[in-house]
Structure 1
Amino acid sequence: MLRKLILALAALTLGATPAAAERVRDLGSFQSVRSNQLTGYGIVVGLDGTGDDNFAYTTEAMRGVSGRFGLQLPPNVNPALKNAAAVMITAELPAFAKPGQRIDITVSAIGKAKSLRGGALIMSPLYGADGEIYAMAQGNLAVGGLGVSGRDGSRLTVNVPTVGRVAEGASVERSVSTGFETSEMLRWNLFQADFLTAARVRDAINDRYPGIAEIEDGVTLAMRLPYGADQRAGIMAQIEMIDITPAEASAKVVINSRTGTVVISSAVRLSPAAISHGSMVVRIDENPMVVQPAPFSNGRTQVEESSSIGIEQRDAHVALFEPGASLAEVVDALNMLGTTPADLVAILEALKQAGSLKAEMVII
């Protein structure tokens, strides 16, 4: 399986031509054009006995909800709210969202509720990082999970029944000021820092609109655009569609230590090196036997141990890498050695320590 995976990755990488042109909009985004995270606390009601029961936060929240409608619960009463659950609400406020627009929300139980299926969220405010209310959420939940239990304690859970979504479940009440039309400079940020790519983007923009772009660092370009939302939006739309050939990605070897997955980028090169890989297999087999000593009528049945030990020394192969060996040669050599994922990681680490592997190793 590993050999097929490595060969497939090699074929894809070796068959690739130099980096193809990409649009500016695929390489980065304007700093002011961003979404904002919203969070809130609320109550889901109408559950079929799968709520929080006596969870204190739910009880206090229900007292607040009842108070809004003029109903005051006695202070010494602690209702068993099996049909209600305390939840956290999260949402993403898109860039330039205006009051009255609708956004999706995600509702997650924070207490002992077993399922939110069939519940309805009571109107709850959603706050931004500045503590201001930006949206109001309410609606019937769509839950993709299912949880059931029996009296004997047996339970069956499908997916996650304590998380649900409400499509367009929140109404935007406040817009976020971005300064898009009034700021002196607009900044554009690369998704991944790279000085060469940033320089190519700057040159392409200045070819179209001379002198408006300059580099601030390996991520950010500052642009001087005419004031006014209409003019700026038109220029930004043109800039985002400019084709750029990004710089080749740096040489990296990414190793997933949990799954044994190893990905080698096409930029990886090796200095002269020789790799020897072999393994010894020691096998011990236990074959106990039941014996009956003579005479048959007076002897006592015994278990006689019988062990066999074998050692298998597999042939070790040596792979020699010439100066500047490419990914194709690396893959061919590792396949010839018959490496397992664990062996492959050990070989790459040894090459790195020896100074032959010209790449950054990333372990995730």
Structure 2
Amino acid sequence: MRHPIARMILAATLALAVAIAPVAPAIGAAARIKDIVDIEGVRENQLVGYGLVVGLNGTGDSLNNSPFTRQSLQAMLERLGVNTRGEAMRTANVAAVMVTANLPPFATQGSRLDVSVAALGDAGSLQGGTLLVTPLLGADGEVYAIAQGPVLINGFSAQGDAASVVSGVPTTGRISSGGLIEREIGFSLGAQRSLRLSLRNPDLTTSRRIALAINDFLGTPTATPEDPATVRIHLPRHFNGNIVDLLTDIEQLVVETDQAAKIVIDENSGIIVMGKEVRVSTVAVAQSNLTVTIAESPTVVQPDPLSFGVTAVEPRTNLQVSESATNLAVVPESVTLQQLVDGLNALGISPRDLIAILQAIKATGALQAEIEVL
């Protein structure tokens, strides 16, 4: 059995250890660097092409109304050795389409990508169609991929003699792995000696925190915040000339992001989104609900007996105007977003009325936030 003095010394030691143990600071909106920045040069490239979808069940373009479809069909047949110049073409199984795709970064020759297909003419549906070989061009006019394959659509259309039904959009579709990459975009990430990190939500505080986190981790002044949206990093000597190793290490660092006080309003749908930094000074708000009721109750008037009058209908309108009594409510100065929401909800107003109230509070200067109307 331990001596009582020994037990007291052990308890005091444990208490002291708990007291001096480092406490992790509370982190609000913390995220990894890889989730809040884009790396310079690591990006997708958009591709576009023009092609033909064949095999449609009479739902293709009408060649009289779509001359580009007729010209494309004739040119394709001529390349295959079939001469149709001067001949009347009445097929409705062909549709002209635009084909789009995103070329992933560092995509290699021979790999595949998904492509999207959209009708260009007056085709009714692309269901059951097959896209013929279509070159996909980049912004520089060069061919980077070739697309071909059966088109899968998300909707359908059916039509009878007296009724029709359409679900979704049958004139757009997708070909999974329907594009074959023929040309690569030359960019050597590992050979770079410096790069820029682009913040997806630009902010001065977040940019500085990212630079500090990287420098603290590496122990050298490697990162420099250039502006709210950019942090430049230089390759330290001990990474053997490969910046990929550096990016692999720093992208896992956790940084607490900051954001400006902003309220986003969509007046069409009545949606209101507030950031956590929104603050409001003490302000009094009153809302008056004015209701106007109009009711028509026409009255039938009969003529006097033995008179030459006729039965008539006289209009009668009942007009009532009522205004609900609303007291002046005080929204106290808010410290948190929750208190602001609770204060506004206490008024018992609808989201659309809340939009007008927020704009009025902003006009008085009591709302410390930016209002963005979509």
Q: Distance in 2 between matches of 1:250 and 1:274?
A: 25
1:207-254 deviations in whole A, cap 9, x for unaligned?
Answer: 22222222222111122226999933232122111111112x211111
Q: Distance in 2 between matches of 1:56 and 1:212?
A: 60
Indicate the residue corresponding to 1:3 in structure 2. none
Percent identity over the alignment is 38
Match of 2:366 in 1: 356
Question: Out of 69, 78, 94, which is 1:58 matched to?
Answer: 69
* Distance in 1 separating the partners of 2:236 and 2:290: 72
| TM-score normalised by the chain length of structure 1 | 0.88
- Give yes or no for contact 1:321–1:329 (8 Å, CA) kept in 2: no
Task: Tell whether 2:128 aligns with 1:114.
Answer: no
Q: Does 1 or 2 have the higher relative contact order (CA < 8 Å, sep 6+)? A: 1
How much has 1:86 moved relative to structure 2?
0.4
Is 1:284 equivalent to 2:290 in the alignment? no
> Could you say what secondary structure the match of 1:71 adopts?
coil
Partner residue, 2:42: 33
Q: How does 1:212-251 map to 2 (within 5 A)?
A: 212-225=222-235, 231-247=242-258, 249-251=259-261
Q: Is the 8 A contact 2:332 2:343 kept in 1?
A: no
Q: Find the partner of 1:165 among 154, 164, 174.
A: 174
Does the alignment pair 1:44 with 2:32?
no
Counterpart residue number, 2:107: 97
1:207 maps onto 2:208 in alignment? no
Letter in 2 for 1:272: T
Question: What is the CA–CA distance in structure 2 between the aligned matches of 1:311 and 1:84, rounded to whole Å?
Answer: 63
Any idea what SS the aligned residue of 1:317 has?
Answer: coil
Deviation at 1:322, TM superposition (A): 3.8
Does the 8 A contact of 1:319 with 1:333 survive in 2?
no
Shift of 1:182: 2.4
Encode CA deviations 1:128-187: one digit per residue, 9 max, x unaligned.
Answer: 1111110000001111211233445x4321110100111000101111112312233222
State the secondary structure of the residue aligned to 1:65. helix
Shift, 1:57, TM fit: 0.9
Give the stretch that moved more between structures: 115-124 or 280-289.
280-289
Letter aligned with residue 205 of structure 1 = I
Contact 2:115 2:177 in 1 (8 A): yes
Aligned to 2:13: none
Cα distance in structure 1, aligned partners of 2:232 and 2:346? 51
User: Contact (CA 8 Å) 1:147, 1:155: kept in 2 or not?
Assistant: yes
Q: Deviations over 1:291-312 (max 9, x none)?
A: 4445499763332333323232
Structure 1: stretches of 5+ with no match in the other structure: 1-16
Q: Shift of the alpha carbon at 1:348?
A: 1.1
| The structure with more radius of gyration | 2
Displacement after TM superposition at 1:284 (Å): 2.2
